[in-house]
Amino acid sequence: MNPKDIAKMIDHSILHPTFTDKKLKQECEIAVKYDTASVCVKPYAVKAAGEFLKGSDVLNSCVIGFPHGNSLIAVKVFETQKAVEDGAVEIDMVVNIGKVLGEDWDYIQQEIAAVVEETHKGGAILKVIFENDYLPEDRHKIRLCEICSDLNVDFVKTSSGYGFVKGENGTFSYKGATDFDLKLMRKHAAPRVQVKAAGGVRTLDDVLRVRRLGVSRVGATATITIMEEAYKRFGG
């Protein structure tokens, strides 16, 4: 392993709702400094991120239907079209979680098929976000992996990073990318479909651990922490 291998696993996440344009620029500069795989930004920020990333190898990625996946299929397709027109080459779409829990698989198949068609038509790749914290039954995650495999989705992804589950006492909890779910997704997705871990990947050891489970990308906000530790441990 070397720091570049680690950096090229990271989609640097710039998605917090409070982030300003100034913060967007600062975070893109962090991604360029460490040469991450991509930045993952909100739809309105794609054009600006493209300007900040000019001259680098960092890819421009955009979230769709974020974070709860509730948009109409047509809206997700339109968001995807606009994001690609604005310069996104990777799309991270949240699936309709309620439809998954209701096991309306025809709807889910139509939704993913429509977005993957629009994404690939524009020369971009698609990552489908399951939001596993909302899916307590393994069968839902397995069926999603099967559908994504059949439709030639490029990545299956654990979480948005914002899927907080409200408990009976009113408090919110969040697990994000668990080892169990990553193993399950790697097992049931086709070999050509890559796995992205998002939510709770905050250290170099976290990255190395999920890599051993078959993960090829991670969504992270702790890029500085991860990369500085990578330089210390591997040199460079």
The domain defined by 3-234 folds into: TIM Barrel (3.20.20)
- Is 173 a residue whose pLDDT tops 90? no
3-state secondary structure of 171: coil
Q: Which of 124, 133, 158, 162 is CA-nearest to residue 144?
A: 158
Arithmetic mean of pLDDT, 174-186: 92
Q: At a CB cut-off of 8 Å and minimum separation 6, what does 83 contact?
A: 43, 46, 62, 64, 91, 124
Cis peptide before 67 (omega within 30 of 0): yes
Query: How confident is the model over 11-34, as pLDDT tens digits?
Result: 999 999 999 999 999 999 999 999
Provide the pLDDT for residue 74: 98
Catalytic positions, written as ranges: 92, 157, 196
Provide the pLDDT for residue 166: 62
- Is 169 a residue whose pLDDT tops 80? no
Query: How confident is the model over 111-166, as pLDDT tens digits?
Result: 999 999 999 999 999 999 999 999 999 999 999 999 999 999 999 999 998 866 66
* H or E stretch covering 235: none
Q: Tell me the three-class secondary structure of 62-119, residue by residue.
A: EEECCCCCCCCHHHHHHHHHHHHHCCCCEEEEECCHHHHHCCCHHHHHHHHHHHHHHH
Domain ranges of the chain: 3-234
